[in-house]
Chain A
Amino acid sequence: KQEVTQIPAALSVPEGENLVLNCSFTDSAIYNLQWFRQDPGKGLTSLLLIQSSQREQTSGRLNASLDKSSGRSTLYIAASQPGDSATYLCAVRPGGGGTASKLTFGTGTRLQVTL
């Protein structure tokens, strides 16, 4: 059974800092990994999708890396802003056949960026 862990559970940083969020998973047989952002009481917004064959993906100030063999992914946020305050979730999609399959989520890292 796939288990996903995110560390830290909560993080508070001053504006402008670079930060790293961690995600680990127990079963390395994944198809891809997706990072999401969730604002309080809202749905999930996809940030980055990394296929199992890729090492990293970048979008603006965000960079996500994937080390499938060690079961780890990191989300790097450069020059953090108060608007980055949210909960960040990682989710893994299992490998194998089929046109689609379920995501297994971590419990998230709650980020607060202060002025």
Chain B
Amino acid sequence: DAGVTQSPTHLIKTRGQQVTLRCSPKSGHDTVSWYQQALGQGPQFIFQYYEEEERQRGNFPDRFSGHQFPNYSSELNVNALLLGDSALYLCASSSGQKYGYTFGSGTRLTVV
């Protein structure tokens, strides 16, 4: 049973560019959340998608946007990249409140 799949694994972008990260949730999961993890820090919540709608959003600017597709997969888009956007981006999926989250291996984004 495949877990959470993220692509790409690594990415290097230039300041000002735009980037799209992708996530396929674990089979049976319908909710996808995105987190940003800076070096040496705990993951910070970006937003969560359920039934193709953004259900919750963390303290991130509008440059961060997302989408969930009918098959529950999701994309995270970041516009006008800043050097400070360099981080590990983690996708997590879940189903229902009772059960825990399953995380993917992450996408390492470097902005130069």
Contact = CB atoms under 8 A, between A and B. Distances in A.
State whether these chains interact: yes
Given A44-B103, A49-B99, A51-B98, A102 B45 contact: yes
B55 A105 contact: no
B42 A100 contact: no
B48 A100 contact: yes
B90 interface: yes
A42 interface: yes
B100 A46 contact: yes
A104 interface: yes
A31 interface: yes
B33 interface: yes
Contact of B96 (A34, A43, A46, A100): A100
Interface string A42-58: 11111001010000000
A101 B56 contact: yes
Interface residues of A, number: 27
Interface residues of B, number: 32
A93 B101 CA distance: 10
B88 to A, nearest CB: 7
Contact of B45 (A32, A103, A106): A103
A45 B3 CA distance: 11
Interface stretch (B14-22, B65-73, B104-112): B104-112
B99 A43 contact: no
Contact of B42 (A34, A49, A106): A106
A28 to B, nearest CB: 17
A22 B27 CA distance: 32
A44 B102 CA distance: 8
Interface in B27-72: 31, 33, 35, 40-45, 48, 50, 55-56, 58
Contacts of B108: 41
Given A103-B33, A103-B43, A107-B41, 13 more contacts: A4-B42, A42-B106, A44-B90, A45-B103, A46-B100, A91-B101, A99-B31, A99-B97, A100-B50, A100-B97, A101-B97, A103-B45, A103-B92
7 contacts: A43-B4, A100-B55, A100-B94, A101-B48, A103-B43, A103-B101, A105-B43
